[in-house]
């Protein structure tokens, strides 16, 4: 095992890489271990991330963040963290390649969106061309007045559909399990918004010149854009393994400084309950690493050698 790190960051998306920039500029020794599946890597062009009036692609933004972190001395390695354990006041981190020891750990492991049934290459092309979208907060503006479908069950699907009614009147909600569970209040709100309700499940999704077509229980339809609202899997297993408090949805609970309920363990970005946005993930990372810096300083005063 190499030297004891000040801060080990798990995840190299916008949260993890921002954390690395802050930590390196605080003169903390910092290593990012990243499995390489940032949700930001799927973004063809984000237009709501401030400072880029023409937009910027997710991979381009991640590349810039990586360059900035490396410039100040952060270490970024590819790998997967398989286990986290305590060693006295520190942490032992077992990765796919090594075992690390660190005084503080920041979880920036994000979430994975559940996908409709379609092959990975078709999914990637549909996202790249804006036919499939995952985040109306991010890109609802881009579907203004388009013919939009939401695939979603329960209150999540209803919420996402009603959110989109401020962008377009041409809305369809397709529920994989039908609408028996719909509350009278939700049904009234969907009716008032003129939302067409279709029974799922959906299958045979195909890219067409004019949109994305799919089979539903009653036939075949084409939409300009489809939003899956099927929920997400939160990557909080490492926190759970250490006994950290989680929300009912599995997000890591943090205080106002991004501290989890486990001393020395911090969390930022989508893995924490929040807006699930790049700017929010980055803000949380800045807060977290400043807390890490100050907490380490309280443990043993930080001094230039
Ligand atoms: C199609 C799409 C479009 C989007 N558009 C926008 C937009 O326009 N604007 C906007 O603000 N947001 C957008 N988002 C949301 C945005 O991508 C996320 O909010 C953001 O990426 C969250 O950053 P994060 O660092 O928390 O997590 P992520 O970016 O998901 O990064 C988490 C990283 O942790 C790694 N990881 C997980 N577990 C481990 C482990 N055990 N060991 C090592 N590494 C691990 C993953 O591989 C991944 O690289 C979009 C998302 C999608 C899917």
pLDDT in tens for each of the 305 residues of the chain? 668 999 999 999 999 999 999 999 999 999 999 999 999 999 999 999 999 999 999 999 999 999 999 999 999 999 999 999 999 999 999 998 889 999 999 999 999 999 999 999 999 999 999 999 999 999 999 999 999 999 998 889 999 999 999 999 999 999 998 898 899 999 999 999 999 999 989 999 999 999 999 999 999 999 999 999 999 999 999 999 999 999 999 999 999 999 999 999 999 999 999 889 999 999 999 999 999 999 999 999 999 98
Atom of ligand 1 nearest to the CA of 17: 25
Atom of ligand 1 nearest to the CA of 268: 26
295 in Cβ contact with 104 (< 8 Å): yes
> Distance between CA 86 and CA 75 in Å, rounded?
22
Beta-carbon neighbour count of residue 231 at 10 Å? Answer: 15
Whether ligand 1 lies within 6 angstroms of the CB of 37 is answered as yes
> Distance between CA 256 and CA 295 in Å, rounded?
14
State the residue for tokens 């008032």.
192
Cite the beta strand spans of 23-147 per DSSP E. 30-34, 75-78, 81-87, 90-95, 99-107, 111-113
- What are the structural domain ranges in the chain? 5-112+232-299, 115-228
Residue 43 corresponds to which tokens in the numbers above? 């973004």
pLDDT at position 274 is 86
Whether ligand 1 lies within 6 angstroms of the CB of 138 is answered as yes
Say whether pTM exceeds 0.85.
yes
- Distance linking the first and last C-alpha atoms of the chain: 22
Is 115-228 the same fold as 5-112+232-299? yes
Nearest to 279 by CA among 11, 38, 40, 45: 40
* Protein residue with its CA nearest to atom 46 in ligand 1: 37
Ligand 1 pocket test, candidate residues 18, 55, 135, 140, most atoms within 8 A of CB:
135
State the residue for tokens 């009036």.
53
Whether ligand 1 lies within 6 angstroms of the CB of 131 is answered as no
Whether ligand 1 lies within 6 angstroms of the CB of 49 is answered as yes
CA distances from 123 to 4, 119, 228, 291 (A): 41, 6, 11, 39
Phi, psi at 23, each rounded to 5° = -65, -45
CATH architecture of the domain covering 5-112+232-299 = 3-Layer(bba) Sandwich (3.50)
Whether ligand 1 lies within 6 angstroms of the CB of 62 is answered as no
Whether ligand 1 lies within 6 angstroms of the CB of 167 is answered as no
44 C-alpha to ligand 1 centroid (Å): 13
168 in Cβ contact with 259 (< 8 Å): no
Whether ligand 1 lies within 6 angstroms of the CB of 19 is answered as no
Q: Which residues contact 61 (CB under 8 A, 6 or more apart)?
A: 14, 40, 43, 46, 49, 278
pLDDT at position 1 is 60
Ligand 1 pocket test, candidate residues 9, 10, 40, 241, most atoms within 8 A of CB:
40
Q: Omega into 99 within 30° of 0, i.e. cis?
A: no
> Distance between CA 148 and CA 169 in Å, rounded?
9
CATH class of 115-228: alpha beta
């Amino acid at each position: 095992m190499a030297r004891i790190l000040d801060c080990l960051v798990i995840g190299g998306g916008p949260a993890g890489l921002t954390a690395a920039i802050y930590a390196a500029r605080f003169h903390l020794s910092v290593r990012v271990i990243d499995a390489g599946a940032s949700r930001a890597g799927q973004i063809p062009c984000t237009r709501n991330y401030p400072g880029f009036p023409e937009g910027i692609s997710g991979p381009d933004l991640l590349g810039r963040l990586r360059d900035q972190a490396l410039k100040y001395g952060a270490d970024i390695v590819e790998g997967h963290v398989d286990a986290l354990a305590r060693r006295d006041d520190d942490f032992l981190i077992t990765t796919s390649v090594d075992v690390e020891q660190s005084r503080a750990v920041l979880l920036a492991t994000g979430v994975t969106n559940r996908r409709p049934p379609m092959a990975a290459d078709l999914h990637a092309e549909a996202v790249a061309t804006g036919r499939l979208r995952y985040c109306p907060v991010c890109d609802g503006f881009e579907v203004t007045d388009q013919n939009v479908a939401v695939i979603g069950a329960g209150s999540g699907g209803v919420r996402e559909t009603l959110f989109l009614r401020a962008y377009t009147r041409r809305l369809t909600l397709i529920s994989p399990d039908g609408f028996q569970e719909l509350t009278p209040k939700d049904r009234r709100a969907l009716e008032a918004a003129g939302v067409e309700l279709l029974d799922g499940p959906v299958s045979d999704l195909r890219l067409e010149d004019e949109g994305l077509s799919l089979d539903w229980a009653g036939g075949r339809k084409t939409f300009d854009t489809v939003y899956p609202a099927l929920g997400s899997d939160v990557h909080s297993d490492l926190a759970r393994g250490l006994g950290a408090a989680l929300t009912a949805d599995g997000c890591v609970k943090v205080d106002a400084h991004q501290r989890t309920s486990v001393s020395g363990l911090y969390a930022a970005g989508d893995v924490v309950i929040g807006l699930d946005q790049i700017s929010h993930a980055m803000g949380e990372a800045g807060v977290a690493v400043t807390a890490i810096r100050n907490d380490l300083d309280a443990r043993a005063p930080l001094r230039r050698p």
